[in-house]
């Protein structure tokens, strides 16, 4: 039985970017503690960086509890949401300009044992009875049945990776590693540390492609960066948490546990393009290094899919020749068995180049 489910990644990537929060996930958010591991300089008095997010009100929420969660005032919530009244309706969405990211929400499901009480469960997980009731509105304390599922909500500090310097001569601070997830297998998490942008974009994009192609094989993720960044043999880059090596989708391929050379014939163009399109649309990607012959089939596929010439010119180096420094998808030697993706600097990483 799957116990831990990452339901929402509410790490917000820069002022003005809205997080689209799934109702079911955010509906569980109430009364839980904020991440305590926030690092970096405190916002100055003159310039407080605000991050816009959508918050779905759940049962038991009050203006006060929401204000406390995001370190804002009740007056501010009213100002941003003019129609809001003191009595909040569960399910409605509020606009919040938060001064701090709420981190990653984790929902654990506890299976009720015979004779177990709600109080015992609360004690076991170190949570309050009131919170437990709010997370599980349909469960009545007196009628807890063995086998029933009780939701436990907690928050984990968002990955706070900070990228310094250049990809081929930089460092990475306070980062977390990528671990195997939906649609991909990570060879070695010790070599898979990355920035928030890198980790979240990989998880989101590969997960979305897997949703569209449920039978697609797992991709194989090789190196990102070391925990603190720095030189990683045999790469020139991979030094600041913004680079990742990922296998291609291969036609009829098994779950990948190593890189496999893709040719024009064996590359699963449809799935690989679907993934590339997601990466590009995320707006978080600088380059995707791809073998030139594979670019050709991807280009033709994108063209068939009705992509405009203007888009193709911007995205692909092909057909201008592998020596041309244009396009997001471009040639670099040794990328026939995997592609290499470079992510943008986070706007908070002032020394990232
Ligand atoms: Zn690489």
Domain boundaries, the chain: 1-37+48-158, 162-343
pLDDT at 3 over 60: no
What mean pLDDT comes out for the span 186-208?
91
pLDDT category, 300, cuts 50, 70, 90? Answer: very high
Which DSSP state fits 49? -
Q: How far is the CA of 340 from the centre of ligand 1 (A)?
A: 5
CA 171 to ligand 1 center in whole angstroms: 16
Is 11's pLDDT higher than 90? no
The CA radius of gyration of the chain, in Å to the nearest whole number, is: 23
Q: Please give the distance, rounded to the nearest whole angstrom, from the Cα atom of residue 223 to the centre of ligand 1.
A: 7
- Taking the centre of ligand 1 as the mean of its atom positions, its distance from the CA of residue 39, in whole angstroms, is 29
Instruction: Report the distance separating Cα 20 and Cα 253, nearest Å.
Output: 33
Which residues neighbour 352 within 8 Å (Cβ) at sequence distance 6 or greater?
162, 163, 164, 165, 170, 240, 242, 345, 346
Determine the distance separating the centroid of ligand 1 and the alpha carbon of 321, expressed in angstroms.
21
Residues in contact with 122: Cβ distance below 8 Å, sequence separation at least 6, in sequence order: 128, 129, 131, 132
Separation between Cα atoms, residue 278 and residue 91, nearest integer Å: 29
- Degrees, nearest 5: CA angle 239-261-230: 5
Q: What's the mean per-residue pLDDT of the chain?
A: 80
Query: How far is ligand 1, taken at its centre, from the CA of residue 178, in Å?
Result: 15
Residue 141: pLDDT band (50, 70, 90) is: low
Question: Which is it for strands 243-246 and 339-343: parallel, antiparallel or unpaired?
Answer: antiparallel
The tokens for 299 are 């280009």
Whole-number Cα distances in Å, 271 to 56, 103, 216, 285: 33, 31, 8, 18
Distance of CA 193 from the midpoint of ligand 1 (Å): 13
Q: What's the gap in Å between 334 CA and the centre of ligand 1? A: 9
How far apart are the CA of 195 and the centre of ligand 1, in A? 15
C-alpha of residue 345 to centroid of ligand 1, in Å: 17
Q: How far apart are the C-alpha atoms of 97 and 90, rounded to whole Å?
A: 20
Q: How far is the CA of 349 from the centre of ligand 1 (A)?
A: 22
pLDDT recorded at residue 104: 53
C-alpha 289 to ligand 1 mean position (Å): 8
DSSP of 81-109, one letter per residue?
A: STT--SSPPTT-EEEEEESS---EEEEEE
Asked if the model's pLDDT at residue 188 lies above 80, the reply is yes
Output the CA 257–ligand 1 centroid distance in Å.
17
Mean pLDDT of 220-247: 95
306 backbone φψ class: left, alpha, beta (φ>0; ψ -120 to 50):
left
Contact between 65 and 31 under an 8 Å Cβ cutoff? The reply is yes
Which residues fall within 8 angstroms of residue 85, CB to CB, at 6 or more apart? none
What pLDDT is recorded for position 254? 77
The residue that leads in pLDDT, 238 or 15, is: 238
Class in CATH terms, 1-37+48-158: alpha beta
Determine the distance separating the centroid of ligand 1 and the alpha carbon of 86, expressed in angstroms. 53
Band of pLDDT at residue 21, cut at 50, 70 and 90: very low
| Span 320-339, pLDDT tens digits | 999 999 999 999 999 999 99
Q: What distance in Å separates the CA atoms of residue 7 and residue 22, rounded to the nearest whole number?
A: 8
The helix or strand, by DSSP H or E, that contains position 5, with its residue range, turns out to be strand 4-9
Of 340, 221, 206, nearest in space to 274 by CA:
206
Facing residues of 176 across strands? 194
More confident residue, 332 or 9: 332
Average pLDDT over residues 101-117: 76
Q: pLDDT class for 299, splitting at 50, 70, 90? A: very high
In the reported structure, the alpha carbon of residue 328 is separated from the centroid of ligand 1 by a whole-number distance in angstroms of 15
Q: What is the CATH number of domain 162-343?
A: 3.30.1380.10
Tell me, in angstroms, the distance from the centre of ligand 1 to residue 84's CA: 49
Average the pLDDT over each of 84-93, 156-165, 210-219, 306-315 and give the range with the smallest value. 156-165
Centre of ligand 1 to C-alpha 238, Å, is 7
Cα(246) to centroid(ligand 1), Å? 8
pLDDT of 307 > 50? The answer is: yes
Give the model's confidence band at 30: pLDDT under 50 very low, under 70 low, under 90 confident, else very high.
very low
- Report the helix count and the strand count for the chain, using DSSP H and E: 9, 15
How far does the centroid of ligand 1 lie from the alpha carbon of residue 245, in Å? 5
> Percent of the chain at pLDDT above 90?
44
Q: What does the pLDDT look like over 238-259, one tens digit per residue?
A: 999 999 999 999 998 777 788 9
């Amino acid at each position: 039985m799957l116990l831990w489910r990452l339901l929402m990644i509410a790490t917000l990537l820069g002022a003005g970017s809205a997080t689209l929060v799934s109702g079911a996930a955010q509906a569980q958010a109430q009364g839980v503690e904020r991440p305590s591991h926030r690092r970096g300089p405190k916002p100055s008095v003159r310039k407080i960086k605000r991050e816009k997010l959508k918050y779905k009100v759940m049962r038991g929420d009050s203006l006060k509890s929401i204000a406390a969660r995001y370190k804002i005032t009740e007056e501010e919530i009213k100002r941003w949401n003019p129609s809001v009244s003191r009595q909040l309706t569960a399910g409605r969405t509020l606009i919040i300009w938060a001064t701090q990211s709420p981190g990653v929400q984790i929902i654990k499901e506890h299976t009720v044992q015979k004779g177990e009480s709600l109080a015992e469960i609360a004690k076991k997980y170190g949570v309050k009875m009131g919170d437990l009731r709010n997370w599980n509105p349909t469960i009545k304390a007196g009628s807890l049945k063995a086998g029933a599922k009780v939701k436990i909500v907690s928050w984990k500090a968002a990955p706070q990776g900070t990228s310094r310097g250049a990809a081929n001569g930089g460092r990475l601070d306070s980062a977390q590693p990528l671990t195997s997830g939906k649609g991909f297998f990570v060879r070695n998490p010790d070599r898979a540390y990355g920035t928030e942008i890198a980790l979240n974009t990989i998880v989101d994009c590969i997960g979305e492609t897997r949703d569209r192609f449920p039978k697609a094989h797992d991709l194989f993720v090789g190196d990102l960066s070391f925990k603190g960044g720095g030189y990683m043999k045999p790469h020139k880059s991979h030094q600041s948490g913004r680079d990742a090596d990922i296998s291609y989708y291969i036609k009829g391929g098994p779950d990948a546990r190593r890189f496999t050379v893709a040719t024009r014939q064996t590359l699963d163009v449809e799935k690989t393009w679907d993934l590339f399109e997601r990466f590009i649309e995320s707006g978080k990607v600088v380059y995707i290094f791809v073998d030139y012959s594979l670019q050709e089939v991807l280009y033709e596929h994108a063209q068939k899919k009705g992509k405009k010439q203007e888009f193709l010119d911007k995205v692909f180096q092909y057909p201008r020749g592998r020596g041309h420094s244009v396009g997001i998808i471009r040639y670099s030697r040794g990328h026939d068995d995997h592609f290499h993706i470079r992510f943008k600097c986070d706007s908070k990483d002032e020394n990232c180049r």
